[in-house]
Amino acid sequence: MVGPTQRLGFVSNSAARRAVLHTLAEDARPRQAVVDAVSASESAVYDALNRLQRRGYVYERDDGDWALTGTGWAVHDLLDQIQAVEGVMDDAAEYWQTHDLSVLPECGRRTLNRLEGCSVVRSPDADPFRAARCVQDAIEGSASVDVIAPVYDDRFADALVDCDDPSPRLLVTPQLLEGAVETDGPAEEETAHLDVRVTTAGFAMAVTEDQVCVSLPKLEGGYDAKTELVARSPESVEWGASVFERVWDEATPVEAFVADE
Q: Which residues, including other chains, have CB under 8 Å from residue 242's CB and lie 6 or more apart?
A: 107, 108, 111
Q: CA triplet 40, 41, 43: central angle to 5 degrees?
A: 125
Query: In this structure, which amino acid lies at residue 119?
Result: S
End-to-end alpha carbon distance in the chain: 55
Q: What is the mean pLDDT of the chain?
A: 89
18 and 135 fall within a common domain: no
Q: Which residues, including other chains, have CB under 8 Å from residue 119's CB and lie 6 or more apart?
A: 91, 92, 229, 230, 231
Domain of 17: which CATH number? 1.10.10.10
pLDDT, position 182: 47
Domain boundary among 28, 47, 78: 78
Domain boundary among 78, 110, 128: 78
Among the listed ranges 7-16, 53-62, 158-167, which one has the minimum average pLDDT value? 158-167
Long-range contacts of 174-182 (CB under 8 A, 24+ apart): 174/198, 174/200, 174/257, 175/150, 175/151, 176/149, 176/150, 176/151, 176/152, 177/254, 177/257, 179/152, 180/152
- Position 257 pLDDT exceeds 70: yes
> Is 84 inside a domain boundary?
no
Q: What is the pTM of this model?
A: 0.80
pLDDT, position 189: 54
65 and 133 fall within a common domain: no
111 and 176 fall within a common domain: yes
pLDDT, position 1: 44
Average of per-residue pLDDT across 188-206: 82
Indicate the pLDDT class of residue 4, thresholds 50, 70 and 90: low
Domain boundary among 36, 53, 78: 78
- Looking at the DSSP bridge assignments, the partners of residue 67 are 59
250 and 121 fall within a common domain: yes
Domain of 98: which CATH number? 3.30.870.10
> Is 86 inside a domain boundary?
no
Quick one: DSSP state of residue 205? E
Cβ atoms of 236 and 115 closer than 8 Å? yes
131 and 40 fall within a common domain: no
pLDDT, position 46: 95
Cβ atoms of 198 and 177 closer than 8 Å? yes
Among the listed ranges 56-65, 131-140, 234-243, which one has the minimum average pLDDT value? 131-140
SS3 assignment for 162-176? HCCCCCCEEEECHHH
Domain that holds residue 239: 93-260
39 and 108 fall within a common domain: no
84-125 pLDDT, tens digit each: 899 999 989 999 999 999 999 999 999 999 998 899 999 999
pLDDT, position 179: 60
pLDDT, position 218: 94
122-180 pLDDT, tens digit each: 999 999 999 989 999 999 889 999 999 888 777 787 888 888 888 899 999 888 777 65
Domain count, the chain: 2
- From the list 230, 158, 155, the residue with the least C-alpha distance to 190 is 158
98 and 197 fall within a common domain: yes
